[in-house]
Amino acid sequence: MTDWGRICAERLEALARVSEPGPGVTRLPFTDQHAEVLDFLRSWMTDADLAHYIDDAGTLVGRHEGDGRDGTFYIGSHQDSVRQGGAFDGIMGIVLAITTLQKLRDAGMPPACPIEVLGFADEEGVRWPTALVGSRAIAGTVDPAVLGMTDRDGVTLRAAMEGFGLAPDRIAKIARRRNGALGYLECHIEQGPVLEQADAPLGVVTAICGIERHAVTLTGETGHAGTLPMATRRDALVGAAALVAEVDRAAQKTEVLRATVGEMHVTPNVVNAVPREVRLTIELRAPDDALREAASLQLRDFARRMAGNRGLHCDMQRSYIQPAQPCDLPLTDALAHAVGTVTGRTALRLPSGATHDASAMADLCPISMLFVRCRNGVSHTPDEHVTPEDLGHAVDALATFLAQLR
């Protein structure tokens, strides 16, 4: 019998070698590495009898026509990586989709439903300060203004696309018909330890967490560290420390809330002066928008009261918001059934704390996600690893799921 998990592992190993020099995988959109990866993916699409082309957002599209019925089901993920990332994040989902369709073709059981495999060019947002361009283009929500954004070398997204042989001014024509989009499935490494802790090879995603970010500035008064009495100090860093502790406390008491202070700048930042100003960020993530918004209000109230008690000025501005995207229940149930059939156990259901192309595709059609166990729950690192056995489980689950589509 064909070992499809081993085939996926070998394909991912070959793709991992297509990288900028250095540790791990660095593969940015519209580069020589991107072009080389597309050559691999095209060849495997051909093996699976998928017609393929590159759209003007840089998405590789492989199409299985099925029996000609109206409507298309989409399966995809992204080919790009973070700098010095791993061999599985994103690209695994494309390889699994192609390989599953090849397995079904070889078994004489091609899906009746038309299917498109989507290999998106830029999900990570590493080269330009934007992301999800390919999936947003297909969903019809891409902002043309992003084409003018520049990378660190001053190259605009528009120029890079044109250099890649694309016509970015035609991006608006990529959008699919909503009444013809049956659904979207994305396969991805979990990026967390839950599946490994449960000894489960696969999991089914219930929702993609909403995200909001805040820029906070606490302003006090500086002075000599040796002469300014403790009782009269307006120390911005002490206030910031209290706020950081409260951010952690708020998340610790709520299981599905993730709260992080990931960036902090102290002024004047010298050893013998009381800090006058601290600028920091707060990021909140949760699968339920109401829960996230309640935490945001609670933290804003705490920051205001804490600053007043310490003689500080507090400015807290929300800088980013992305609503949670629940996965479609019928698709999720069908995926859970497929996972249970393959693994012989009830499928574990869990939210995704990270953003994926699925969050953009939700503007087009119902979405679903399959998580695959990743060793030690790591991601965005060269240590990413999925066993061939788990890849095989994923192929089998996908094949079972696609057979259920009507």
The model's pLDDT over 35-71, given as tens digits with 9 standing for 90+, comes to: 999 999 999 999 999 999 999 999 999 999 998 788 9
Sequence-ordered alpha helix ranges (H) in 17-90: 32-47
The model's pLDDT over 140-183, given as tens digits with 9 standing for 90+, comes to: 999 999 999 999 999 999 999 999 999 999 999 999 999 999 99
Cα–Cα dist 382/369, whole Å: 23
Sequence-ordered alpha helix ranges (H) in 27-147: 32-47, 91-106, 133-139
The whole-number pLDDT of residue 185 equals 98
The whole-number pLDDT of residue 224 equals 97
Residue percentage of the chain with pLDDT more than 70: 100
Query: Across the chain, what does the average pLDDT equal?
Result: 97
The number of angstroms, rounded, from the C-alpha of 157 to the middle of its chain's C-alpha atoms is 20
The model's pLDDT over 320-349, given as tens digits with 9 standing for 90+, comes to: 999 999 999 999 999 999 999 999 999 999
Helix (H, G, I), strand (E, B) or coil at 266: strand
Confidence of residue 1 (pLDDT cuts 50, 70, 90): confident
Answer left, alpha or beta for residue 58, where phi above 0 means left and psi between -120 and 50 means alpha.
left
The model's pLDDT over 301-319, given as tens digits with 9 standing for 90+, comes to: 999 999 999 999 999 999 9
CA distances (Å), 106 to each of 27, 112, 132, 253, 404, in order? 31, 15, 33, 51, 18
The whole-number pLDDT of residue 14 equals 98
The whole-number pLDDT of residue 68 equals 78
For strand 258-260 and strand 202-208, is the pairing parallel, antiparallel, or unpaired?
Answer: unpaired
The whole-number pLDDT of residue 253 equals 95
Who's near 342: CB < 8 A, 6+ residues apart? 202, 393, 396, 397, 400
- In sequence order, what DSSP letters do the residues of 311-371 get, joined into one string? T-EEEEEEEEEE--EEPPHHHHHHHHHHHHHHHSSPPEEEEESS--HHHHHTTTS-EEEEE
Query: Is the Cβ–Cβ distance between 307 and 314 less than 8 Å?
Result: yes
Cis peptide before 201 (omega within 30 of 0): no
Cα–Cα dist 38/59, whole Å: 10
Q: How many CB atoms are located within 10 Å of the residue 305 CB? A: 11
Cα–Cα dist 257/252, whole Å: 8
The model's pLDDT over 82-95, given as tens digits with 9 standing for 90+, comes to: 999 999 999 999 99
Cα–Cα dist 93/97, whole Å: 6
The model's pLDDT over 193-234, given as tens digits with 9 standing for 90+, comes to: 999 999 999 999 999 999 999 999 999 999 999 999 999 999
Domains and CATH numbers, the chain: 4-208+324-404 (3.40.630.10), 210-322 (3.30.70.360)
Cα–Cα dist 82/129, whole Å: 13
Sequence-ordered alpha helix ranges (H) in 2-126: 4-16, 32-47, 91-106
Confidence of residue 405 (pLDDT cuts 50, 70, 90): confident
Q: How many CB atoms are located within 10 Å of the residue 308 CB? A: 11
